[in-house]
Amino acid sequence: MTATGRMAERTRPAVVLAGLAALTALLLAGHRLVPNRVGRLGSLLEVFLPWLGLVVAVLFGLALLYRSAVALLALLLPVAAWTDLFGGLLLAAPGAGPRQLVVVQHNVSDVNPDPAGTARALAAAGPDLIALQELVPAALPVYEETLAAPYPHHVVRGTVGLWSRYPLSGARPLDIKPAGITESWNRGLRAVADTPYGDVAAYVAHLPSVRVRASGLASEWRDESAGLLGRAVAAEPVPRVLVLGDLNGTVDDRGLAPLTSRLNTAERGFAFSFPASFPVARIDQVMARSAAVEQIRTLPRTGSDHLPVAARIALGR
């Protein structure tokens, strides 16, 4: 082999690694440019966007293995892009302050074998509000009885419910059912909590599921339902709003743009909540208007296929 050939062989891995680093940076920084027309590939990428950090870690290891300064320099691009998108979530949350609420969001699962234990676990976190989805008639009395003492106020509409330390008023169902669903379907409610810091309109929702298929991400019904929920929030007269629910999407997924464009999302914490056995994404969300979601975290596993999430909300003045 000639000297030129040996040099080419040594530089080829560096070029490949640098190219992969540039591609990863492009996907991170330009994920909104990935089209959604075919298979909703943009949304599919955005569901797993934080995990591109693992790709960066693997490329870093290979760059060290091949002792490639070019590849290491190229990796500065995806590191900067990932840090810009997600670095803030890793920072320590500010200490608890005045005018704060703690809320818990949990899809309890319609086949949960231990609803009483689930209710006790959620109450043990000491939240002010608890939002639940997949409440089935057989389990509902168990949740009502178990949560009655610490949460004397509650409202249930269809398969979603809200438990509160504070009085609730103005409770009504939300029409977030996609047009293509013909059967009975009631998975949204709105109520106003009379907190010590003023009224807070709480929206509890369970958006339709999405499916990953060979053709891509099937999320049409979820996206339509998110649009309906977003319009309801936009029309809400109470200034402070909380949206708590299994939204079947991450905050980076453009399918939830009708909500994320109007509401604040968590400032600290990843809180991957699904599936409970090996969480890869947070599809259980807490969002706010005229308030800040300072921190979100997961709670220990219950009998559900989701992990509960708890969030600290700063209401400000």
The per-residue pLDDT for 7 is: 46
End-to-end CA distance of the chain: 74
Output the furthest CA–CA distance in the chain (Å, rounded).
82
Range of the domain at 15: 3-90
Give mean pLDDT in consecutive 10-residue pieces for the chain, a chain of 317 residues: 51 88 97 91 95 97 92 96 96 82 98 98 98 98 98 98 98 96 94 97 97 81 97 98 98 97 97 98 98 97 98 89
Whether residues 258 and 301 share a domain: the answer is yes
Cα separation, 162 vs 155, in Å, equals 5
In this structure, what DSSP letter does residue 37 have? Answer: T
What per-residue confidence (pLDDT) applies to 63? 94
Q: Is the domain of 189 the same as that of 223?
A: yes
Q: What is the pLDDT of residue 9?
A: 54
Q: Are residues 29 and 150 in the same domain?
A: no
As for how many domains the chain has, the answer is: 2
Angular region, 290: left φ>0, alpha ψ -120 to 50, beta rest: left
| Domain's final residue, options 39, 71, 90 | 90
Res 216: pLDDT: 76
Q: What per-residue string of b and e applies to 202-228 under the rule 16 or more CB within 10 Å gives b?
A: bbbbbbbebeeeeebbebebbbbbbbb
Residues 231 and 153 in one domain: yes
- Domain-terminating residue out of 70, 90, 110: 90
pLDDT at 48: 94
The CATH number of the domain holding residue 295 is: 3.60.10.10
Beta carbons of 246 and 222 less than 8 angstroms apart: no
